[in-house]
Amino acid sequence: MTKTRVSVRNTIERATAEIALGVPLTPFTELLIEYASRDPRVCYVGVDTMDVEFQRHFPSRAFDVGIAEQNQLGIATGLAKAGMVPVVQAWSPFTPLRNFDQLRTSLARHHSNVKIVTTALGLVNCSHGATHHDMESLALFRTVPGLVILAPFDGTQFEQAFRVAMDYVGPVVIMGPPEIYAPGRDGLDSLPIQNHPPFEIGKAEWLRHGNDACLITFGPALRYTWLGAERLSQGGLSVAVVNMCSLKPLDCDSILKAATEIQAVLSVEEQTVIGGLGSAVAEVIAESGVAVRFKRMGIPDQFVENVGDWTETREGIGLTASQVVRAVKELLA
């Protein structure tokens, strides 16, 4: 399909918009305006998050329901019913926690053509404390029938995932990368990922290949997982890294390939170890009958109360590159 770029992709218009706002447009806003420009059904539904640049372009299609997550998903379901394509912007700690019934019983039960983009996945909101930590969104999302769950790692992959989501007819959650929300706050350098392969629903991205250990991860955890893999590699181990950017449907083939061809599998996620990626990987391995050394790494079954920046908050619960290195060595011991 030919994708035409319009509106703020135009350099002058984007520059004008950026000057007007005083901030650069996010990839999210750019994409939203592009799609709304060519499809009159595309609208925005925010939750005290109004995308003002989108609103400037499309005032009749820009809705902000205020701080009311339940109503947000109910309205999105109604909009979709009558033929609109709502793009919902939401905060990970509150969607799906505050509106899980609306998500399950209204939005997903009607297979609504709604795209939900969540931001602040994991512990990115460290300083706010546990109310703003998203520890379980994946565990909850996974149980919703017919819901596609994507987790692009960076801005480039977000654009890919967004386009795939818009082409798909049905409910999709994009667990947005922290770059959109908190660029650079992890204190880590950006990863040397130049080109992502074409994004496919149900396909993971193999970032490194190896045969000693396979690290399966997604979202913000990929950063320290990658650093851990680098250190292990420097220490002489051959380590694979899989970015599970499609969480539902899950790329079971990649998991089975790892379990059968690689000595050990470690899942790393910035979510509770209960019900998230690690649980999903464990389910696939257990039902396959393959015997492999396996461990889940993630937020332990506790609230995270230590104060600090993102890195310090994670250090308090053992979610760091060093702990990835340690876990792999223990698995292979």
Candidate residues 1, 12, 82, 291; the one interacting with another protein per rule CB under 8 A: 82
Alpha-carbon span 332 to 232, nearest angstrom: 12
68 binds another protein (CB under 8 A): yes
> Segment near another protein (CB under 8 A), from 37-45, 130-138, 157-165, 304-312?
37-45
Cβ(135)–Cβ(271) below 8 Å: yes
- Taking alpha carbons only, the member of 186, 178, 175, 139 closest to residue 301 is 139
Beta strands in the chain (DSSP E): 42-46, 62-64, 85-91, 115-119, 148-150, 172-175, 205-208, 213-217, 239-243, 246-248, 264-272, 293-299
Question: CB under 8 Å to 113, separation ≥6 — which residues?
Answer: 80, 85, 169, 170, 171
74 binds another protein (CB under 8 A): yes
Candidate residues 37, 49, 55, 71; the one interacting with another protein per rule CB under 8 A: 71
Candidate residues 9, 50, 78, 293; the one interacting with another protein per rule CB under 8 A: 78
77 binds another protein (CB under 8 A): yes
141-180 residues in contact with another protein (CB under 8 A) are none
Which is closer to another protein, CB of 105 or CB of 233? 105
Residue 282 CB, nearest approach to another protein (Å): 31
> Segment near another protein (CB under 8 A), from 78-86, 146-154, 168-176, 323-331?
78-86
Q: Which strands sit side by side in the sheet containing 205-208, from one edge to the other?
A: 205-208, 239-243, 213-217, 264-272, 293-299
- The Cα-based distances of 173 to 79, 84, 112, 170, 316 in angstroms read 17, 17, 12, 10, 29
Alpha-carbon span 152 to 222, nearest angstrom: 11
Beta strands in 107-233 (DSSP E): 115-119, 148-150, 172-175, 205-208, 213-217
49 binds another protein (CB under 8 A): no
106 binds another protein (CB under 8 A): yes
Other C-beta atoms closer than 10 Å to the C-beta of 70 total 17
Interface with another protein (CB under 8 A), residue total 30
Q: Give bridge partners of residue 91 from the DSSP assignment.
A: 119
- Taking alpha carbons only, the member of 118, 195, 123 closest to residue 157 is 195
Residue 243 CB, nearest approach to another protein (Å): 34
55 binds another protein (CB under 8 A): no
Alpha-carbon span 165 to 150, nearest angstrom: 9
Which amino acid belongs to residue 63? F
Residue 222 CB, nearest approach to another protein (Å): 35
80 binds another protein (CB under 8 A): yes
61 binds another protein (CB under 8 A): yes
Which is closer to another protein, CB of 62 or CB of 324? 62
Candidate residues 5, 81, 128, 209; the one interacting with another protein per rule CB under 8 A: 81
Which is closer to another protein, CB of 14 or CB of 61? 61
Candidate residues 1, 22, 83, 236; the one interacting with another protein per rule CB under 8 A: 83
Candidate residues 63, 91, 181, 226; the one interacting with another protein per rule CB under 8 A: 63
Q: Give bridge partners of residue 240 from the DSSP assignment.
A: 214
Candidate residues 8, 65, 144, 174; the one interacting with another protein per rule CB under 8 A: 65
Residue 46 CB, nearest approach to another protein (Å): 12
Residue 330 CB, nearest approach to another protein (Å): 45
Q: Is 216 helix (H, G, I), strand (E, B) or coil?
A: strand
Q: Name the DSSP class of 106.
A: I
List contacts with another protein (CB under 8 A): 40-41, 43, 60-61, 63, 65-66, 68, 70-71, 73-84, 86, 101-102, 105-106, 109-110
